[in-house]
Amino acid sequence: MSAYTPGEQPQGGGWVKLNTNENPYPPSLRALEAIRVALLNDGAALRLYPSPDSAPLREAAARFHDFKAERIVAGNGSDDILNLLIRAYAGPGRPIGMLDPSYSLYPVLAAAQGAPVVKVPVTPALSFDVAAVAGCGAAVFFLTNPNAPLGVAFPVAQVEALARAFPGLLVVDEAYAAFAEGDCVELAKRLPNVVVTRTLSKGHALAGLRAGYALCPSGVAEVLHRVRDSYNVDRLAQVAAAAALDDGEWLRVTSGQVRATRDRLTRELIGLGWSVIPSSGNFLLAAPASLRRPTSPAAAEQAFEFLRARKILVRRFPHHPLTEKSLRISVGTEAEAEVFLAAAKAWTEG
């Protein structure tokens, strides 16, 4: 099997890092205060194991979504939840399914479990065919919504139609839901085969702590608790994530700032002649173009290297026809957007 390839983590300072979809803003002050309180008395609490079922995090997620805490399972980031789902529900003779393109971690986790992978192509209209997914033969289907790396969000009604037609477990991976107009949480409340996964890494700016969770049907939650590690989320991550979820005003303000910068980047790149897919995430998939260099995989590679030489990191996905001509650009601060746009203009006009 091949390992997952994460985005480059540069060494040294001076980089504009727009390649791993991290939140550009510091996390909620409530999260930082929760960590400070947990470290009182010279950090004596750290000698003790954390809550084995991540009760503080699960209860905060229950308040955040108006969901039953006993149907929530916490993990070491939502990647841990994805791994638990594959461990419990997939394996030899029980394939996983995914859209193509989608999150490249799914096949890695499937390979570790000996599970085949069925890929259903994203349509040219950047959607999916309900019948094709429902009939793909997978025991578990992972639907990244909004899709990464494309950025498109699939309507809730379409996801519900899929859930009702699909005979297996439908996992809606909502890593980027904080930046979208809607989500599928209500489907997890109502339907017996829908799991919604969330991470604190993107919307809540806690990628460095690793915390996530799943909103499950009651039977699925019980199964995931059987296969997870007893202490799979550490004490500091539990309390910080719980505090972050309780700070709705911080999320409203910062996600609004990200969306505003995303919309500005979209307008200005289109003004330069680049092609941009309308995004519901905290990133854009944009195809560079200039008068001398029309949109092509070669132009994307040239633009990528041009930006990197100026210490601006973005990401390329050169192995799929829907992404090979594009760059994926994380939405940074307004200051980072200024630096990126100046470099994009220099490449376009050069």
Distances from the Cα of 244 to the Cα of 32, 79, 186, 208, angstroms: 9, 19, 22, 14
Residues 44 and 121 in one domain: yes
Same-domain check for residues 309 and 221: no
Give the distance, in angstroms, between the CA of residue 49 and the centroid of all CA atoms in the same chain: 28
280 and 154 fall within a common domain: no
**Distances in whole angstroms, Cα of residue 269 to Cα of each of 260, 294, 350:** 14, 14, 15
Q: Which of 216, 247, 278 is the last residue of a domain?
A: 247
Residue 284 shares a structural domain with residue 234? no
Please list the pLDDT of the chain residue by residue as tens digits (350 residues): 889 888 889 988 899 999 999 999 999 999 999 999 999 999 999 999 999 999 999 999 999 999 999 999 999 999 999 999 999 999 999 999 999 999 999 999 999 999 999 999 999 999 999 999 999 999 999 999 999 999 999 999 999 999 999 999 999 999 999 999 999 999 999 999 999 999 999 999 999 999 999 999 989 999 999 999 999 999 999 999 999 999 999 999 999 999 999 999 999 999 999 999 999 999 999 999 988 889 999 999 999 999 999 999 999 999 999 999 999 999 999 999 999 999 999 999 98
282: domain CATH number is 3.90.1150.10
Distance CA 42, CA 240 (A): 18
Domain-located, residue 4: no
Mark whether 301 and 153 lie in a shared domain: no
Q: Which pair of structure tokens corresponds to residue 45?
A: 């609490």
Closest CA to 191 of 341, 71, 111, 83: 71
Sheet holding 283-287, edge to edge: 275-276, 283-287, 327-330
In contact, 290 and 306? CB cutoff 8 Å = no
- Looking at the fold, whether 93 and 202 belong to one and the same domain comes out as yes
Contacting residues for 304 by C-beta, under 8 A, at least 6 apart: 314, 316, 327
CA 200/CA 212 separation, integer angstroms: 6
Can you tell me the distance from the alpha carbon of 92 to that of 178, in angstroms, rounded to the nearest whole number?
A: 35
Domain enclosing residue 338, as ranges: 16-26+249-349
Torsion sign over Cα 124, 129, 134, 140: positive
Number of structural domains (the chain) is: 2
Within this chain, do residues 169 and 268 fall inside the same structural domain, yes or no?
Answer: no
For residue 111, give the CATH number of its domain.
Answer: 3.40.640.10
Domain final residue pick, 247, 268, 288? 247
CA–CA gap between residue 61 and residue 339 (Å, rounded): 36
Question: Domain check: are 95 and 235 in the same one?
Answer: yes
Residue 50, domain member (yes or no) = yes
Q: Burial level of 177, CB count in 10 A (0-12/13-18/19+)?
A: buried
Q: Examine residue 10 and state whether it is found in any structural domain, yes or no.
A: no
Where would I find the H helices in 55-198?
55-65, 78-89, 105-113, 130-134, 156-165, 185-190
Which of 247, 275, 300 represents a domain boundary (last residue)? Answer: 247
